[in-house]
Structure 1
Amino acid sequence: MRVIYLTSSESLSGGSRQALYLAQGLAGRGHETFLLTPAVSSLPDQEAGGEAAFRAVALPAKRGCWRAAVEQLLPAHDTPFVLHAFHNKACKLASWWGLRWRLAKRRAVVVLNRGVCYRPGNPLPWWSPGVDAVSVNSRACADVLARIGAPRAKLRVIYNGVPEGRVRAGREPLAVRAELGIAPDALVIGSITGDKPVKGVEQLVRAAALAKTKGLSARLVLVGTNPAKWGPLARELNVADLFAFIPRTPHVADYLGVFDAFVISSLSESLPNTLLEACLAGLPVLSTAVGGIPELIEGRGILVPPGDASALAEGLLRLERDHEARARFAAASRELSATFTIERKVDEVEALYRELLARRGFSAD
């Protein structure tokens, strides 16, 4: 089977990594796979380590030339292939290419990927008859697309997968704690987040300030945040002693290794890969009840309303004080992690491709 993965993202985003993992996984099963990324993306180099069996292709700088770049990789006219597009611009293009290929009687199967829960500004790609299926990473995401008229029959919920290497630390936890000025026996509540308002870092800092007035002493380590942006707020609210703001780093696993619990304060999400990594690391989870997160964490962790600093503060205090609940939620995370293997994700996506090819009367072999 020839499978072409196309992403328009220039960053090392969660969606880009999912495309990479699929390209690697299917190549390992003997399929001919390609991963097309913008020329400025370092995804194949940084994540694949030069050992992947797929072929990485840099897209032209001009988006108008992307179709030609993709079509150079197509097999003979009568040979089936799959194009799987990730991120908004790539999905828009693929939806129209799919129509063009159908008119040209190419044996193409087109799959779009959607991993966010906000309403698309342009619904047309999700309606396109040139698209065979839309793979979404949560039921909540599927519901959003269904509400704008995307055919339910085309929507497939396939949860993301994360490789074990994403949580394999390269440094000793005690060394990382020492570097951060955190005592070996201090409780660490951590997050892998970002500076955008939607990530809710401000709400988390304010929640910590509320919780500190009730005795919170746990340290909070936020990976992916700018100290210059959040340090002043933490000092203003008298919680600078509780926080460590760590800029974006490829060494996420080193910090996961020192976390005792995980917090997500986002105002909106679908189903973030960071949650899956926290489960794989066996961490109890406190999260806002947004997007697809309740699909996994309801009854297995602590859920609070988004934007509610008071509720988030109570969640932080419960994580610190309720040792029994923390142990129970950690066990639930370890159990959940079996659902999020790369092997399971590749199995489901490969089965989807075979189903779509068969439905069109094409052979997958």
Structure 2
Amino acid sequence: MRRVGFFIMTPTFGGPHNQALRLFGALKELGWWVKVITTDAPGNGASRLEENGIPVRQIDLPRLRRGFSRQFVSLLEVLSSIPRLIQVIKEEKCDLVQFCGVQNFHVGIAARAAGIPVVCQLLGTFAPKLMRISVSPIVSLFIDVIMAVGRKVMSEHPWISIRNQPVFYFLPPVDTGRLFILSQKREEVKRKLGLDSRSLVVLTLGNFAPCKGHDVLVEAAGVVFKKTPNVCFCVLGSYTKDFEDYYRRTVIERAKNLGLIERGAVRFIEAGSLAHEYLAIGDLFVISSVAEGVPTAMLEAMAMGMPVVSTAVGSIPEVIEESKAGILVPPRNPKKLAEAILRLVENPPLAMEFSRNALVFVREHVDVKKCAEVHAKAYGYACKKAIKKRRLGN
């Protein structure tokens, strides 16, 4: 059994945590035992993994921050953490190290210094463009394999493969069987949340952070509610320490000022570990993000038969265009977002067609076992490449 050290920098449960959770058992069957090494900063990521039996080690794990002054200070912290990361990698007896995002290059440097194969995952376009352009070629010097959630996300990291590293494409893992069972409890969950059984629920799921564009979603909700008062927007997610003040001040206050919360048109729900259960209430899934990869939540919604309205960011267009399961709109445009939502609300046959297409796409392309097999191939290639280098004395 070979050991993978999966470094996750963010404290709040998100895409990398979901990947670790869903793939642990399947990868173990394929001979890869994954341990998550994550930050000890406040958040629900580590606890949710541990509750589900995923091995976790929490350490002081600095990461680059936005803003020039914060970036400079955090860069010093990141660079000074490399000796400690080397020690952790050795203590955990890692046969391979995996990390997400070029902004976390220090993990790759530490792994290479420890003589361990390195896999870099590109899960989205969350890092600023200038950072992606400037850091990608540096990261390329230390990694053996690239894994990416789509060709668009890959293209947004220029020069990441200047050493001709292979690229393994994958879609985030989704437990389709469990989601189908949960989808049968729709009315029960609506009652639990106090929703009118006759209301049409427009749903989104994602951490309460600026990149999710929920301020734009609130503006679009105001337009939709004026025309179709039976629509309820449910925003599922979790607060993050860095952005809680921003979110309450910018997003929730705006919803209050528009009278949307008072009239029950918009509800903000901290879903936590109940996210999948609450996902069952949706009739339509919406993504208003300004940066993404392929959101796990979108694939989960599709697995429950929801049509999608999404901003055309990250690799989302690749999924929507191939699946024919939704409508794409430009980011930061509440008018276009509202128009697309209304188009599906007012055209049930079209919504039903997208729903059927979503189910077919997920059934054919999204699977935990398939995702694990891609990971195992990427891991195996990285290890073989490292062995070959050692034999050549490189």
Interval of TM-score (by shorter of Structure 1 and Structure 2)? 0.7 to 0.9
- In structure 2, how many angstroms separate the alpha carbons of the residues matched to 1:317 and 1:42? 35
Instruction: State the match for 2:12 in structure 1.
Output: 11
SS at match of 1:123: helix
Instruction: State the match for 1:72 in structure 2.
Output: 91
- CA 1:44–1:244: 2 relative to 1, 3 Å: closer
The worse-fitting range, judged by mean Cα deviation, of 238-247 and 314-323 is 238-247
Instruction: State the match for 1:254 in structure 2.
Output: 277
The correspondence for 1:350, drawn from 347, 355, 376, is 376
Deviation at 1:333, TM superposition (A): 1.2
Equivalent residues of 2:140, 2:160 under 8 A apart: no
SS at match of 2:158: helix
Instruction: State the match for 1:335 in structure 2.
Output: 360
> Which amino acid counterpart does residue 163 of structure 1 have in structure 2?
D
- CA 1:179–1:295: 2 relative to 1, 3 Å: same
Give CA-to-partner distance per residue, 1:32-85, whole Å, 9 cap, x none.
433322345664542354545xx433335784422111112337xxxxx22212
Deviation at 1:158, TM superposition (A): 1.9
Give CA-to-partner distance per residue, 1:106-144, whole Å, 9 cap, x none.
4x3211122121436251575443310121212111001
Q: Does 1:174 align with 2:195?
A: no
Equivalent residues of 1:270, 1:291 under 8 A apart: yes
- In structure 2, how many angstroms separate the alpha carbons of the residues matched to 1:212 and 1:124? 43
Deviation at 1:324, TM superposition (A): 0.8
- CA 1:313–1:273: 2 relative to 1, 3 Å: same
Instruction: State the match for 1:237 in structure 2.
Output: 258
- In structure 2, how many angstroms separate the alpha carbons of the residues matched to 1:274 and 1:287? 12
Deviation at 1:159, TM superposition (A): 1.9
- CA 1:216–1:312: 2 relative to 1, 3 Å: farther
SS at match of 2:153: helix
Q: Does 1:155 align with 2:185?
A: no
Equivalent residues of 1:11, 1:43 under 8 A apart: yes
Q: Does 1:193 align with 2:200?
A: no
Equivalent residues of 1:194, 1:225 under 8 A apart: yes
CA RMSD of aligned residues (A): 3.0
- In structure 1, how many angstroms separate the alpha carbons of the residues matched to 2:377 and 2:201? 41
The correspondence for 1:209, drawn from 218, 222, 227, is 222
SS at match of 2:156: helix
> Which amino acid counterpart does residue 297 of structure 1 have in structure 2?
I
Deviation at 1:228, TM superposition (A): 5.2
Deviation at 1:177, TM superposition (A): 2.1
Q: Which runs of 5+ in 1 are unaligned?
A: 76-80
SS at match of 1:282: coil
Deviation at 1:277, TM superposition (A): 1.3
The correspondence for 2:339, drawn from 290, 295, 314, is 314
The worse-fitting range, judged by mean Cα deviation, of 133-142 and 189-198 is 189-198
Equivalent residues of 2:32, 2:376 under 8 A apart: no
SS at match of 1:161: coil
SS at match of 1:69: helix
Equivalent residues of 1:189, 1:260 under 8 A apart: yes
- In structure 1, how many angstroms separate the alpha carbons of the residues matched to 2:21 and 2:369? 13
- CA 1:3–1:147: 2 relative to 1, 3 Å: closer
Deviation at 1:345, TM superposition (A): 0.8
The correspondence for 2:318, drawn from 295, 314, 329, is 295
Give CA-to-partner distance per residue, 1:219-238, whole Å, 9 cap, x none.
11111277955444234334
- In structure 1, how many angstroms separate the alpha carbons of the residues matched to 2:297 and 2:11? 19
SS at match of 2:343: helix
- In structure 2, how many angstroms separate the alpha carbons of the residues matched to 1:152 and 1:158? 19
The correspondence for 2:235, drawn from 216, 222, 240, is 222
Instruction: State the match for 2:110 in structure 1.
Output: 97
Identity %: 22
Once the two structures are superposed, the pairs formed by residues 37-48 of structure 1 within 5 Å of their partners are 37-40=38-41, 43=45, 45-48=47-50
- In structure 1, how many angstroms separate the alpha carbons of the residues matched to 2:37 and 2:205? 27
> Going by fraction, where is helix more abundant, 1 or 2?
2
SS at match of 2:97: strand
Instruction: State the match for 1:283 in structure 2.
Output: 306
- In structure 1, how many angstroms separate the alpha carbons of the residues matched to 2:167 and 2:39? 27
Equivalent residues of 1:261, 1:285 under 8 A apart: yes
Aligned residues: 350
Q: Does 1:130 align with 2:142?
A: yes
State the TM-score, normalizing by the size of structure 1. 0.84
Q: Does 1:109 align with 2:123?
A: no
SS at match of 2:382: helix
- CA 1:120–1:126: 2 relative to 1, 3 Å: farther
- CA 1:126–1:349: 2 relative to 1, 3 Å: farther
Q: Does 1:274 align with 2:297?
A: yes
Deviation at 1:156, TM superposition (A): 2.8
